[in-house]
């Protein structure tokens, strides 16, 4: 999986990100805008909980019978002339796509925004083979010009200011150095249309794959996905095996949840429901459609109920926007193409656990991600489960050495909390030593812990005493 | 076929299933949203939602949209018009007022379509709840005419206006067309500082003329 920054170094990455004020400002703005939009479309919607549980029930059912629905999807897709390929891992997926692009004789591919192609580092593989792969979503194109992976699942270049993008475009595209957002967008339209007109292959992901009809459904706002899947002679879609839904009718509830959670829209501008290549030679649309079904660690997550729910994710990005950690450190600190709370649970299950052992700890367990999730994934429970697995270790990933100081402190705390008498004595002593607080707050180890947090001060009188006084009155 | 068997085998073993294990019935599909709006209410809701997302609503019930389209074309002064092969569109094109414009043939090349200033198509269905048009590629050649020109004018027969997405998913012709495209307003992006810009890769103007 693409690693922008080493994911083992989350704490260091996060510290660096905290120094970047422009980035933090942009993240704050995004969190506010998305928070308000999400509230507007979700709160005050009496049907929201019903939609959530309906969608989750469909996902749970599908995942529990995934083999059945994958085979059904394949059968229907083949019947409509779509060619279906299976990829166990990233290398196999990029190999299949590369083979198809070469067979099509294409030297230029246009790409629609797809996290799955980022996951398998498809662009890198294509470029390595001398094939130009152009991202066509505006945000993705900005990131590609800048040589960066997406910063946010839905708004890839959310961390860049208009001025930064104008400077980037002036350098790479030749627009005036102080162009505004409208001029930059117009320049992107012109430049990318030349690519669409010449590209031999269009590559996309898919939001949903429908077993009943062998169709793909893809959502977007810009129109680049329609272009990618309509203009080039060949369309290749890379689709995770968890994207399958049983019936066409199941789309209704997901098309209500995904746009509202992703961007706060009632519906995105375009949905393309695609079923196979063109039926007659004179028709519009691609001559060939290929679907590459990707496992890459997903089937493993089916084994346990707690991990299986990770596969219900519809990649809306709502959990990023509400996460207090993501809001401060942003997407790149996670070192994975999947950032934020969902990234912190998905990434450690896709790569060897030891490589992403820090990520399950990159959370305060506040639960905002679970509350906002449109398919009610219990992310905090997953984080705890993965933390436990990191601590216990496995043959592939030996346990991380627990810190001695932390272990000692926990043992002391456990002893202290076990007896009311000892607890009362310790609390009393601490309260008696309150005048020392300004001193020991500035001494290690507390001074180090305090660097990023505020220490709560002990109240002058404890609850027990207040309670006694109250009941006496 | 090896990877297929490996993946399906892994899925089955993790789920403790075999390829011929039973499949429980999927959960029932509830009807979501309002499905009981009368025709007048549907039209009103559609117009409102279309305006909310930046589209423009026109009524052309008496003249097949002639007056609305004539007005739009007079303002836009297109150098060329991409037209679909829908009967309603072809009828407009024959009209004396509109015939002088440079209409592309329905089977125009990609190059011609990329250069067109206006696209005029029909629409097979519409959804009142969201202000959405549904374009069925098996019924009409409008996949590119509705996408490439900077202005898209769609003629919507009033009888094709449904209440909800769920109804459309039930009503779409089977087997499904190669492409069923759902269009809700003009193309948009907010990828630069979350500023809304209309007309990025698709049309910047969407006009729906109800006929």
Give the mean pLDDT of A115-138: 96
Average pLDDT, chain B: 96
- Least reliable range by pLDDT among A1-15, A154-168, B78-92: A1-15
Given this model, what pLDDT does residue A464 score? 84
- Name beta bridge partners: A274: A216, B179
Say whether pLDDT at A455 is over 80.
Answer: no
Contact assignment for A162 to B192 by CB distance below 8 Å: yes
A53-56, long-range: CB within 8 Å, 24+ apart, which pairs?
A53/A376, A54/A253, A54/B27, A54/B30, A54/B32, A55/A253, A55/A254, A55/A257, A55/A374, A55/A375, A56/A312, A56/A375, A56/A376
List the single range of A35-44, A122-131, B148-157 with lowest mean pLDDT. A35-44
Give the residue with greater pLDDT, A231 vs A426.
A231
Q: Does residue A1 register a pLDDT over 60?
A: no
Which is higher by pLDDT, A114 or B36? Answer: A114
Whether the CB-CB separation of B179 and B125 falls below 8 Å is answered with: no
Distance (Å, rounded) from C-alpha A324 to C-alpha A158?
A: 17
At B1 the pLDDT is 61
The predicted structure's pLDDT at residue B31: 93
pLDDT tops 70 at residue A3: no
pLDDT of B165 reads: 97
The pLDDT, as a whole number, for residue B58 is 98
- Burial state string for A198-215 with b = 16 or more CB within 10 A and e = fewer than 16: ebbbbbbbbbbbbbbbbb
- Segment B179-191 shows an average pLDDT of 97
Report the pLDDT averaged over residues B113-121: 98
The full length of chain B comes to 211
Instruction: Please indicate if any CB of chain A lies within 8 Å of the CB of B77.
Output: no
Task: Check residue A42 and give its pLDDT.
Answer: 84
pLDDT of residue A463: 86
pLDDT at B69 over 60: yes
Range with lowest mean pLDDT among A15-29, B58-72, B175-189 = A15-29
Q: What is the ipTM of this complex?
A: 0.98
* Residue A272, pLDDT above cutoff 60: yes
Contact A142/B at CB under 8 A: yes
Average pLDDT over all residues of chain A: 92
Which two three-digit tokens encode residue A88? Answer: 């166990």
Q: A51 and B32 in contact by Cβ < 8 A?
A: yes
Residue A339 pLDDT > 70 = yes
What is the band of A396 on the pLDDT scale with cuts at 50, 70, 90? low
Mutate to test the interface with A, among B19, B200, B204 (most CBs of A within 10 A): B200
Q: What's residue A398's pLDDT?
A: 53
pLDDT at B57: 98
pLDDT band at A391; cut points 50, 70, 90: confident
- pLDDT (mean) for A222-230: 98
Tell me what pLDDT residue A456 has. 75
- Which residues, including other chains, have CB under 8 Å from residue A469's CB and lie 6 or more apart? none
Write out chain B residues lying below 8 Å of A138, CB-based.
Answer: 189, 191-192, 200
Cβ within 8 Å, pair B29-A252: yes
- Using a pLDDT cut of 70, give the percent of chain A over it: 97
CA B193 to chain CA mean position, Å:
28
Q: Is the pLDDT of residue A171 over 80?
A: yes
Residue B20 has pLDDT above 90, yes or no: no
Tell if the CB–CB gap between B181 and A215 is shorter than 8 Å. Answer: no
Does A86 sit within 8 Å of B4, measured CB to CB? yes
> Please, are residues A24 and A328 in contact by the beta-carbon 8 Å criterion?
yes
DSSP-H helix ranges across A199-277: 224-230, 251-262
User: Which of A92-106, A152-166, A391-405, B181-195 shows the lowest per-residue confidence on average (mean pLDDT)?
Assistant: A391-405
B199 has a chain A CB within 8 A of its CB: yes
Which position has the higher pLDDT, B160 or B35?
Answer: B160
pLDDT in tens, A228-271: 999 999 999 999 999 999 999 999 999 999 999 999 999 999 99
Asked if the model's pLDDT at residue A47 lies above 90, the reply is: yes
Predicted confidence at residue A119, as pLDDT, reads 95
Helix, coil or strand: residue A321: helix
A185 interfacial to chain B (CB closer than 8 Å) = yes
Question: Mean pLDDT throughout B78-104?
Answer: 96
Higher-pLDDT residue of A473 and A424 is: A424
Positive or negative: CA dihedral B154, B157, B162, B168: negative
Strand partners of residue A235: A202, A289
What is the count of residue pairs from A and B with beta carbons less than 8 Å apart? Answer: 230
Q: Is the pLDDT of residue A358 over 70?
A: yes
pLDDT value of position A454: 76
Rounded to an integer, the average pLDDT of A393-408 is 68
Which pLDDT score is estimated for A435? 81
């Amino acid at each position: 999986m693409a690693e922008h920054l080493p994911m083992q170094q989350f704490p260091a990455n996060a510290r660096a990100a905290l120094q970047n004020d422009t980035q933090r400002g942009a993240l704050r703005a995004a969190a506010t805008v998305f928070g308000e939009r999400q509230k507007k479309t979700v709160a005050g919607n009496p049907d929201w909980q019903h939609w959530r549980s309906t969608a989750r029930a469909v996902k749970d059912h599908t995942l529990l019978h995934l083999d059945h629905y994958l085979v059904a999807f394949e059968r229907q897709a083949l019947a409509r002339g779509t060619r279906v390929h299976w990829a166990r891992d990233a290398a196999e997926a990029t190999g299949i796509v590369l083979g198809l692009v070469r067979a099509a004789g294409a030297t230029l591919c246009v790409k629609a925004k797809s996290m799955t192609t980022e996951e398998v580092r498809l662009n890198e593989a294509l470029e390595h083979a001398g094939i130009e792969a152009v991202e066509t979503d505006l945000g993705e194109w900005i990131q590609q010009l800048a040589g960066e992976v997406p910063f946010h699942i839905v708004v890839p270049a959310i961390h860049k200011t208009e001025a930064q993008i104008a400077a980037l475009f002036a350098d790479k595209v030749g627009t005036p150095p102080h162009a505004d957002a409208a001029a930059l967008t117009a320049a992107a339209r012109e430049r990318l249309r030349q690519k669409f007109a010449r590209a031999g292959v269009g590559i996309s992901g898919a939001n949903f794959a429908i077993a009943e009809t062998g169709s793909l459904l893809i959502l977007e706002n810009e129109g680049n996905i329609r272009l990618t899947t309509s203009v080039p002679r060949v369309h290749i879609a890379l689709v995770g095996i968890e994207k399958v839904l049983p019936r066409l009718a199941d789309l209704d509830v997901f098309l209500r949840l995904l746009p509202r959670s992703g961007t706060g829209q009632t519906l995105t501008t375009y949905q393309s429901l695609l079923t196979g290549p063109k039926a007659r030679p004179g028709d519009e649309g691609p001559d060939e459609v290929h679907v590459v079904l990707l496992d890459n660690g997903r089937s493993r997550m089916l084994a346990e109920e707690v991990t299986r729910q990770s596969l219900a994710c519809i990649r809306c990005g709502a959990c990023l926007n509400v996460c207090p950690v993501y809001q401060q450190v942003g997407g790149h600190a996670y070192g994975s193409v999947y950032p934020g709370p969902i990234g912190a649970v998905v990434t450690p299950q896709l790569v060897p656990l030891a490589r992403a052992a820090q990520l399950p700890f990159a959370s305060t367990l506040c639960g905002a991600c679970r509350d906002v999730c449109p398919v009610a994934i219990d992310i905090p429970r997953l984080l705890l489960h993965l933390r436990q697995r990191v601590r216990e270790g496995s043959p592939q990933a030996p346990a991380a050495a627990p810190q001695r100081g932390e272990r000692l402190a926990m043992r002391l705390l456990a002893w202290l909390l076990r007896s009311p008498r000892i607890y009362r004595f310790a609390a009393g002593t601490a309260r008696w030593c309150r005048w020392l607080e300004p001193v020991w707050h500035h001494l290690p180890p507390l001074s180090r812990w305090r660097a990023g947090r505020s220490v709560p001060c002990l109240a002058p009188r404890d609850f027990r005493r207040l309670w006694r006084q109250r009941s006496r009155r | 076929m090896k990877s297929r068997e490996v993946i399906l085998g892994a899925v089955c073993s993790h789920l403790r299933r075999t390829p011929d294990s039973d499949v429980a019935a999927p959960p029932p599909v509830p009807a979501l949203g309002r499905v009981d709006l009368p025709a007048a209410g549907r039209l009103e809701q559609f117009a409102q939602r279309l305006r909310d997302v930046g589209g423009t609503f026109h009524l052309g019930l008496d003249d097949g949209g002639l007056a609305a389209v004539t007005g739009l074309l007079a303002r836009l002064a297109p150098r060329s018009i991409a037209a679909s092969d829908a009967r309603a569109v072809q009828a407009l094109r024959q009209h004396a007022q509109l015939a002088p414009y440079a209409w592309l043939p329905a089977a125009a090349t990609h190059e011609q379509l990329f250069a067109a200033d206006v696209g005029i198509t029909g629409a097979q269905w519409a959804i009142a709840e969201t202000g959405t048009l549904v374009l069925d590629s098996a019924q009409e050649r409008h996949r590119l005419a509705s996408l490439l020109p900077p202005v898209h004018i769609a003629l919507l027969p009033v009888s094709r206006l449904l209440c909800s997405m769920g109804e459309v998913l039930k009503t779409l012709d089977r087997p499904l067309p190669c492409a069923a495209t759902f269009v809700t307003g003009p193309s948009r992006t907010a990828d630069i500082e979350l500023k809304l810009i209309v007309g990025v890769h698709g049309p910047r103007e969407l006009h729906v003329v109800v006929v």
